[in-house]
Amino acid sequence: MQDPKEIPLKHRDLNWLSFNARVLQEAEDKINPLYERIRFLAIFSSNLDEYFRVRVSQLRQMKRVEKSIRKKLALKPSKTTKEIIKKVKIQQDKFGAIYEKQILPELAENGIFLLGAEHFTSSQKSFAASYFQKNIKQHLDPRIIKVHKEQELFLENAELYLIVQFDAKEELGLVNIPVDACGRFINLENDSKGHDITYLDEIIRSQIATIFEEKTITGIFEIKLSRDAELYIEDQYEGVLAEKIYNSLAQRDDGQPTRLLYDAQMPAALQKTIRKLLKLGKIDMMPGGKYHNFNDFLSFPDPTNNPNLNFKKFPNIKHRELENSADYFKTISQKDQSLHFPFMSFAYVENFLQQAVNDNNVSAIKISLYRVADESRLTNLLLRALEKGKEVTVFVEAKARFDEENNIVWGKKFEEKGAHVIYSYPKIKVHSKIMLIQRMENEQVVNYAYIGTGNFNSETSKIYCDHAILTANKNIAKELSRLFMVLEGELIIPREKNLLISPFSTRQEFNRMIYNEIDNARDGKKAKITAKMNSLEDPGIIALLYRASQEGVEIRLLVRGFTCLIPGIKNLSENIYMTSIVDRYLEHGRIYIFENDGDEKIYFGSADWMTRNLSRRIEVLAPILDKDLAQEFKEILEIQLQDNVKARIQDAEETNKYVPKAEGEKPIRSQYEIYNYLKQKHETRGQS
């Protein structure tokens, strides 16, 4: 096999920008209702903020690593960062054009006007002054900055501020914009037809003179600083080399600035002053529009309540077996059951847990929580199980990015109530989405397993496309119970034969199955690999896929996010075709199908083909053994592979071209087609 270090690969951070470009395409696509396009702008902005806090931060920290180490890892952080900045600038220009030339005019067509302070009527100016005094002023912390006194300026991460320029050049004003306390958007009084809305920023701008009464104001400019979230070196580099990198970075500052977004209208001299006050480099400065933090548009008000401005809601599909089941244990023991979110309600998972809590024969409940929701029915049920004296084991991932604090708070709550709470290990995350119910039946312990691709979170289940299976299959459930024993420290390895469990067996089994397809292709047998995932990055897997392509294995990939694999290279990856779907719901499921000369093997679960998922996280992928469910998963994936409305081609040039429709071909928008497929399958049972 070719050395993974020598194969052609895309840079993951550069290719991630192609994924966010697809999000921006959704903001531009007029198939989507107006308010949904606004939300896609907000998602694009939120994604970019996290990207700078994590990925760009890591690249910049790499610049401080010893040159010898950087050379050994083939790291070129400065070059990559410059390429990122160039691409982001192009995307932000497009973002601004969509907002200014499409969104604002279409809002106006619907009688919704987003006003700047300069367009306030006399009565609106009076309203703004009164509103400021009553609702905003007490939340402000205005400051005077002495420019020439080496005064260091500190800005909170992702908070909005107004820099106020005075005629006296030696001073600047700084005013926070208290979005958390006041909200970002304010409905203005209006004497005519239509609805006038303004930014909180604009109310404050209109009253700046009352804040700095003795100053002559010459300019007001919005800024926002993104800070380093945390350095996740272990996600990409491991072993002794990682330790050396950590030692090189021992002196790094927590929360180092990674990007200052500023109003492009800010004068160059003021830009330079701000940069020096914040101790930033030129590359840290990113020009933008008048307003920042567009993720606030996720809560942009709709005063019209016009249903045509939002996606039409899909009523939850009623599961043909679970909807009317009074005994989930009996239903699951008779046949494996599948769930597909967001088309079905997460309440089925909660109902199963509730039956377990109320069942006197259930002795133990074990669950892994990667991102713990705020108080929810599921967390309350776990607490209720403890009150009823059941053994409850909760594995809490303490390193789930940006959810660390909430996860630990909930871990402590469970501990206080008597649960056995296990937190993540120093160098490994538990990313699997699993639950085990142990029940006494005929004086024996019977295991019931839940395996999914998404978090145990009822809110995200409404917007993430995920899959899950409830099973009492003895082999699967026993292996899952052994995995929990590993997490509890009772076993060292789970000894699985059916499940793929990272970091124990997943890579080896995927390698074996890919090699099997290669052998079959050489022998003239049926050979094909079909895989859907969020991200594709692992060099070892990519090298094997390249080799399989060279041997004639047909490879069809569906990768929502970034990919390091380059498809379509002659004599290397010409048998690999890859698409990506970005639509109203976030594609989050992972499904892997190996042709195996006609005896297909189908797996689903929590792991992408990323090094961290294969080698440094606890992940669970399950074979779909029930023939009906295997066919169901296959047909769902097939619908997605046929998408010609929201699917883009992932090619070597990163063009993000939509999959073309042949003349007369039926449009297939896979998320809508899957909903109809599941509705037909579950809600027409028994009808003639």
Residues taking part in catalysis: 431
With the C-alpha atoms ordered 681, 682, 685, 688, is the resulting torsion angle positive or negative?
negative
Using the structure block, give the residue that is written with the tokens 């395409």.
25
| β pairing state of 257-263 and 171-177 | unpaired
Q: Is 401 annotated as a binding residue?
A: yes
Paired tokens of 197: 């809305």
Q: Is 199 annotated as a binding residue?
A: no
| β pairing state of 143-146 and 285-288 | unpaired
In 3D space, the residue among 436, 422, 458 whose CA is nearest the CA of residue 390 turns out to be: 436
Q: Is 588 annotated as a binding residue?
A: yes
- For every residue of 199-230, DSSP letters joined together read EHHHHHHHTHHHHSTTS-EEEEEEEEEEE---
Q: Which burial class, exposed, middle or buried, applies to 458 when counting CB atoms under 10 A from its CB (0-12, 13-18, 19+)?
A: middle
Tell me if 140 sits within 8 A of 178, measured CB to CB.
yes
In 3D space, the residue among 37, 39, 193 whose CA is nearest the CA of residue 110 turns out to be: 193
Rounded-to-5 percentages of helix, strand, coil across the chain: 40, 20, 35
Using the structure block, give the residue that is written with the tokens 């929201």.
646
Instruction: Tell me the residue type at 201.
Output: D
- Residue 622: count other Cβ atoms within 10 Å of its Cβ: 26
The residue count of the chain comes to: 688
Both ends of the chain: CA-CA distance in Å? 56
Distances in Å between the Cα of 265 and the Cα atoms of 49, 270, 289, 290, 605 are 21, 10, 8, 8, 48
- For every residue of 477-540, DSSP letters joined together read HHHHHHHHHHHTTS-S----SSSEEETTTHHHHHHHHHHHHHHHHHTTS--EEEEEES-B--HH
- For every residue of 323-358, DSSP letters joined together read TT-S-HHHHHHHS-EEEEETTS-THHHHHHHHHHHH
Dmax over CA atoms of the chain, in Å, equals 86
Q: Residue 648 pairs with which residues in a beta bridge?
A: 580, 658
Q: Is 420 annotated as a binding residue?
A: no
Cα separation of 485 and 156, whole Å?
43
Q: Is 547 annotated as a binding residue?
A: no
In 3D space, the residue among 554, 560, 530 whose CA is nearest the CA of residue 630 turns out to be: 530
Using the structure block, give the residue that is written with the tokens 């085990």.
436
Cα separation of 584 and 672, whole Å?
10
Q: Is 498 annotated as a binding residue?
A: no
Cα separation of 426 and 625, whole Å?
35
Cα separation of 565 and 10, whole Å?
6
Paired tokens of 554: 């047909």
Distances in Å between the Cα of 514 and the Cα atoms of 166, 500, 509, 574 are 66, 15, 9, 17
Instruction: Let me know the angle formed at the C-alpha of 73 by 70 and 75, rounded to the nearest 5 degrees.
Output: 55
Paired tokens of 451: 């395996």
Question: Binding site for ATP: residue ranges?
Answer: 47, 464, 560, 588
Which amino acids are annotated as binding site for Mg(2+), given as ranges? 371, 401
Binding-site residues, please?
Answer: 47, 371, 401, 464, 560, 588
